[in-house]
Structure 1
């Protein structure tokens, strides 16, 4: 058997199920590895006592059928777990401890997972990189001068370093796909409503959903099934979105099969941010798309083009929805000085957001969603770059809050509109630059059609076998 951290999550689960190794042994291995290897600062809190107690309970349980029985994971620093730090990566919340566990953490416990601690996020999750005054920056593993992406950057850096076999994240504008693509991993943002515990339904704008990051398509599918809460392959939760075009079979099965021939379009016509920002697609991002098109064509898929529908007004609408979420945060004015520039800019500008302005933004977003769904409907998947630029240097984002936001747009102009429309999307690490930096693409699917994205992703994984070794194995 390979070293535990070199195994994929599904392979590790099989060894646990066969009792080749215990959950305690697995937890001990990864805890030791976190202490020794985490150069990228993926973790902001590790609770070995809690992890080992949980692992012992999993080992002692009669039922070993949990989808992620005995597998280690970590909560993103924006997720609350009773008795654990709950700072949301902000000095405003320093020292706070959660008194309850969020549903998205509980569903992974119920599936047999073993949490080891908390992975890094930017303050309040507002950034497409991972850095906070409270915890410092999370860097691209193997490249300490570059950002790991965000806001689930700690999750991605943990997986890339072999500190976890997979990791849950959350995505409100690209926060799973950006760090996955940056760190050379697979990241899936499910359809709005697909994850009952955190699916975006009932929130302002419906932007944020839980999702999964892993080194392989199969492992992403496994964790996503666990997040859905499947029992014996079925999603029993009344609020789980189901695709009208397929039965409720597991996503893992679809990923393992990796079958089908599909109609896939490359998105043309610019980005939703072109109205306000000078977005430029780098040659490296174009090369990633070109490599994907070549592989898809070789597989026999039909590849064409589809234009992004009219997005006039998108920047104003999206920022209004983003500010609407910030306005709900109970941050007293006298404590706003504790916020970092980006979060302070978003929170303070939310003061001027009126009920009418928020309603108009939501109505615009709904109309835009309908235009995008109509345009994309003939296609099984739509292809874009995951990021427009290569991984960014640590000093690239300005200290001014608004300028910081504008730089994020330039880096990742293709991700947030997928949250606005509620569609599923997967980031795939199909390309490496001449310097060896990961560059990914994004495939956007129809509502509820994660299985199609996983099948296409699995085919690309076979055709363009991206590195799945952990980063420290590739150190000079």
Structure 2
């Protein structure tokens, strides 16, 4: 019998962490508890896992084996598309062999020592492992160095064991690609997880890990979090390092995580935020104290501006309005003041450059791969809409890119001025609940794709353009068992305000204990 089945504490860890996802992979004694867990008992969050490991109740190898077992027990989920299991096991074995005193010293330096972790397969690199950006042209692309953020994750003690699915270059709000296929929503497998961090959201929602890396260039943290019943915070522009290869780039995309608990998101932000070599502009540091400390400080009564509509005139589904209404009702009950108010926005000026900026980033990434391989990318190595974007990017002028950044600046000015009168903005996260799989793929006419994508990102993308921090919190479930999020935006640099409110909301409308039934994914 394996050691994990003999030791009661390790068996309890495996049962709790599995949350029913890996019942078939667990020892026979654990299967009954795991089956029960699949119908409502949530796994522990990263903070709890880390404490168990720090106390020696569970070894880093136990934790990793449990996470890998959950990946392998859910073959239809398709969330973890690159498996760096052997590399992670070598690391976990070395950590697990340390003495109790050495473990104590390590944990003091690395709060998440030995915890299994996943990186999104887009724009982040772990030396010696593959990142494909969801694109066939990058299949087998081994990184020669680790990115700054990955190094900070590793310094925090996280053991990276794989990459989560992303659509090609993160260019759509679903997680479906020619290279890897579709990632399924654990709550309803006919529907999308959202994108582009849908692999991460699916992995966290299914209990594979409690928190994982994600990025957001138009809503790609917040939309999957909303569709999968999780907490998703997009930090301010410049808060989390993006280098060393590209520091600010277009300014649209920001890295952080999707998590089950608010405190995990706050802790990860504490461990990763801050400038890197070459950084020149960024938001002020958390004040006062850490982001984790902000969770213990209930915010004063806040002035919250409510947006029930969006600047594109996209109709908002009744379930998405229900999520907004529930969040508004809870906020009002906590003493916050809500008022319906939207600023005037020159939509064409603000949004016109978004496509050019995203296309320029894709063009740069592809051109670097072309230089390395000594050949040009072929049309059959990219999805049709991305190929069209790449061709358009090759024709873009310097003036178009400069105008794009001016439009971003204009959005920042307008939202900054508006948030001079309000503490937060509340909107639906999306205009529709999670769409059916297939309707947001990159192999269809642009017009049909754009209609569906706009329904996903009509509220979120503005704050990538303006650079403001924003979060999605679970607030509603549809009749089809699909989670729906409510979306809050704070002044630039005020992630602490969002996190403090999120901690209140997490208590008032608890979502962390809700788990999907994973039977269809086995």
TM-score where L is the length of structure 1: 0.91
Q: Which one of the candidate residues 202, 213, 221 is aligned to 2:258?
A: 213
Q: Which has the larger displacement, 76-85 or 150-159?
A: 76-85
Asked whether the equivalents of residues 187 and 481 of structure 2 are also in contact (C-alpha less than 8 Å), the reply is: no
SS at match of 1:397: coil
Change (3 A) 1:440 1:142: closer
Is residue 294 of structure 2 the alignment partner of residue 254 of structure 1? yes
Match of 1:267 in 2: 307
SS at match of 2:347: coil
Is residue 163 of structure 2 the alignment partner of residue 131 of structure 1? no
Match of 1:33 in 2: 70
Could you list the per-position Cα deviations for residues 94-123 of structure 1 after superposition, in whole angstroms to 9, with x for gaps in the alignment? Answer: 222222212221110011001111110011
Change (3 A) 1:356 1:239: closer
Match of 1:68 in 2: 112
Question: Aligned-pair distance for 1:377?
Answer: 2.0
**Mapped partners of 1:322, 1:472: distance in 2:** 37
Match of 2:151 in 1: 106
Q: Which one of the candidate residues 322, 334, 337 is aligned to 1:302?
A: 337
Question: How many aligned positions are there?
Answer: 466
**Mapped partners of 1:209, 1:450: distance in 2:** 13
**Mapped partners of 1:315, 1:39: distance in 2:** 37
Question: Aligned-pair distance for 1:405?
Answer: 3.4
Match of 1:44 in 2: 81
Q: Which one of the candidate residues 129, 150, 153 is aligned to 1:84?
A: 129
After superposition, residues 337-348 of structure 1 pair within 5 angstroms as: 337-348=380-391
Question: Aligned-pair distance for 1:335?
Answer: 1.4
SS at match of 2:486: strand
Is residue 231 of structure 2 the alignment partner of residue 186 of structure 1? yes
**Mapped partners of 2:420, 2:193: distance in 1:** 33
**Mapped partners of 1:29, 1:401: distance in 2:** 43
Question: Aligned-pair distance for 1:56?
Answer: 3.1
Q: Which has the larger displacement, 358-367 or 385-394?
A: 358-367
Which consecutive unaligned segments of at least 5 residues does structure 1 have? Answer: none
Asked whether the equivalents of residues 147 and 243 of structure 2 are also in contact (C-alpha less than 8 Å), the reply is: no
Question: Aligned-pair distance for 1:258?
Answer: 4.5
Question: Aligned-pair distance for 1:435?
Answer: 2.2
Question: Aligned-pair distance for 1:83?
Answer: 1.7
Match of 2:418 in 1: 375
Change (3 A) 1:20 1:258: farther
Q: Which has the larger displacement, 400-409 or 73-82?
A: 400-409
**Mapped partners of 2:408, 2:244: distance in 1:** 17
Question: Aligned-pair distance for 1:257?
Answer: 4.5
Match of 1:118 in 2: 163
Match of 1:321 in 2: 357
SS at match of 1:462: helix
Asked whether the equivalents of residues 158 and 164 of structure 1 are also in contact (C-alpha less than 8 Å), the reply is: yes
Question: Aligned-pair distance for 1:394?
Answer: 0.9
Question: Aligned-pair distance for 1:347?
Answer: 0.9
Question: Aligned-pair distance for 1:156?
Answer: 0.5
**Mapped partners of 2:381, 2:279: distance in 1:** 41
Asked whether the equivalents of residues 306 and 376 of structure 1 are also in contact (C-alpha less than 8 Å), the reply is: no
Question: Aligned-pair distance for 1:455?
Answer: 0.9
**Mapped partners of 2:409, 2:245: distance in 1:** 14
Change (3 A) 1:31 1:86: same
Question: Aligned-pair distance for 1:472?
Answer: 4.1
**Mapped partners of 2:298, 2:277: distance in 1:** 25
Question: Aligned-pair distance for 1:250?
Answer: 1.6
Change (3 A) 1:188 1:85: same
Could you list the per-position Cα deviations for residues 47-88 of structure 1 after superposition, in whole angstroms to 9, with x for gaps in the alignment? Answer: 222112222344435321213222211111112212212221
Could you list the per-position Cα deviations for residues 31-56 of structure 1 after superposition, in whole angstroms to 9, with x for gaps in the alignment? Answer: 11111124321110222221122223
Asked whether the equivalents of residues 165 and 197 of structure 2 are also in contact (C-alpha less than 8 Å), the reply is: yes
TM-score where L is the length of structure 2: 0.84
Asked whether the equivalents of residues 39 and 141 of structure 1 are also in contact (C-alpha less than 8 Å), the reply is: no
**Mapped partners of 1:228, 1:32: distance in 2:** 31
Q: Which has the larger displacement, 335-344 or 394-403?
A: 394-403
Which consecutive unaligned segments of at least 5 residues does structure 2 have? Answer: 1-11, 19-42, 371-375
Q: Which one of the candidate residues 465, 479, 482 is aligned to 1:420?
A: 465
**Mapped partners of 1:315, 1:285: distance in 2:** 23
Is residue 328 of structure 2 the alignment partner of residue 293 of structure 1? yes
After superposition, residues 433-452 of structure 1 pair within 5 angstroms as: 433-452=478-497
Could you list the per-position Cα deviations for residues 369-408 of structure 1 after superposition, in whole angstroms to 9, with x for gaps in the alignment? Answer: 1011101222221111111101110122363252323421
Question: Aligned-pair distance for 1:20?
Answer: 1.6
SS at match of 2:306: strand
- After superposition, the CA RMSD in angstroms is 2.5
**Mapped partners of 1:271, 1:200: distance in 2:** 35
Q: Which has the larger displacement, 195-204 or 160-169?
A: 195-204
Match of 1:349 in 2: 392
Is residue 49 of structure 2 the alignment partner of residue 12 of structure 1? yes
Change (3 A) 1:198 1:141: farther
Asked whether the equivalents of residues 470 and 488 of structure 2 are also in contact (C-alpha less than 8 Å), the reply is: yes
SS at match of 2:111: coil
Q: Which has the larger displacement, 422-431 or 401-410?
A: 401-410
